[in-house]
Amino acid sequence: MSTPSAIQLDRLTKVLDGRPVLRDVSLDIPAGTGFCLLGRSGTGKSVTLRHIVGLMRPDSGRVIVHGEDITSLPPRGLARVRRRMGFLFQNAALFDSISVGENVAFPLRRHTDWPDARIRETARARLADVGLDGTYERMPADLSGGMRKRAGLARAMALEPDILLVDEPSAGLDPITSSEIDALLDTQKRRGTTVVVVTHNMPSARRLGDRLAVLHEGRVIASGDVAALERSADPLVVAFMQSEGGG
């Protein structure tokens, strides 16, 4: 029996400022797997993520999440779908004016009617999951880049989403910290979360990706598992697969 799809992109097209950013992009991401979207900067990777979470709507095509077309959902329906997603932005996007713990608690306060004690307990548990015990009262400015990324991941996982979307998790991190973030994402995948990662870091993609796709000039030029992409004759795909650099 085949694994059901968590996310399907069906001929997604988007033009921004008169420039085609996505051109007829179709992808199928099985539930509970790691999926890595590769490509050079400016090829539409982050725009693809923003379509999946509903922050952008396509000019044509469909985004299907757990069998539901979200492209025409009203705000309330979109909010319902988003509750099952976590999103880790490239810079972690923590709110600097509130504590680390309250950053993690934010989606719980927004989307649940839980009492304060339960929210705090859950936020502390998510921080512990990413190795940030004892940081609830600290401010984001007091954290290193790697710790901020961990805190952002804790917030993305606060509601225990089915789908975790991650934009460039290794950006700005040293190789050791990058590997630690990869290990945390891999743990979430092993727990059954669908993990979708945008990256140009090939070592990270090899660690996390059950399936990979390469986006170039808004088009998918290759997709499949690591072995399939290693057989590609496309020069850009070959360059990515041979890359050992991070970043």
Q: What is the pLDDT of residue 209?
A: 93
Portion of the chain with pLDDT greater than 70, in percent: 98
Q: What is the pLDDT of residue 132?
A: 92
Q: What is the pLDDT of residue 12?
A: 96
- What is the residue-averaged pLDDT of the chain? 90
Judged against a pLDDT cut of 60, whether residue 246 lies above it is answered with: no
Helix or strand (DSSP H, E) at 79 = helix 75-82
Of 210 and 172, the structure prediction assigns the larger pLDDT to: 210
**Interval 94-103 mean pLDDT:** 94
pTM of the model: 0.90
**For residue range 187-216, what is the model confidence (pLDDT) as tens digits?**
999 999 999 999 888 888 999 999 999 999
**For residue range 108-149, what is the model confidence (pLDDT) as tens digits?**
998 899 999 999 999 999 999 888 999 999 999 999 888 998
d(CA 87, CA 132): 19
In which band, very low, low, confident or very high, does the pLDDT at 247 lie, cut at 50, 70 and 90? very low
Instruction: Transcribe 130-183 into DSSP letters.
Output: TT-TT-TTS-GGGS-HHHHHHHHHHHHTTT--SEEEEE-TTTT--HHHHHHHHH
Judged against a pLDDT cut of 90, whether residue 13 lies above it is answered with: yes
In which band, very low, low, confident or very high, does the pLDDT at 244 lie, cut at 50, 70 and 90? low
Judged against a pLDDT cut of 80, whether residue 71 lies above it is answered with: yes
Structure tokens belonging to residue 59: 């000019």
CATH 3.40.50.300 fits 1-84+167-183+194-247, yes or no: yes
100-111 helix and 145-156 helix, angle to the nearest 10 degrees: 20
**Cβ 208 vs Cβ 217: under 8 Å:** no
**Interval 84-106 mean pLDDT:** 90
Q: What is the pLDDT of residue 228?
A: 93
d(CA 57, CA 78): 11
The residue behind tokens 């099985």 is 30
Q: Give the contacts of 183 (CB within 8 A, at least 6 positions apart).
A: none
Q: What is the pLDDT of residue 195?
A: 96
Where in the chain do CATH 3.40.50.300 domains reside?
1-84+167-183+194-247
β-pairing, 219-224 vs 211-216, is antiparallel
**Interval 70-81 mean pLDDT:** 90
CA dihedral 224, 63, 17, 168 (to 10 degrees): -50
d(CA 83, CA 104): 14
Judged against a pLDDT cut of 90, whether residue 226 lies above it is answered with: yes
Judged against a pLDDT cut of 50, whether residue 14 lies above it is answered with: yes
**Interval 221-235 mean pLDDT:** 93
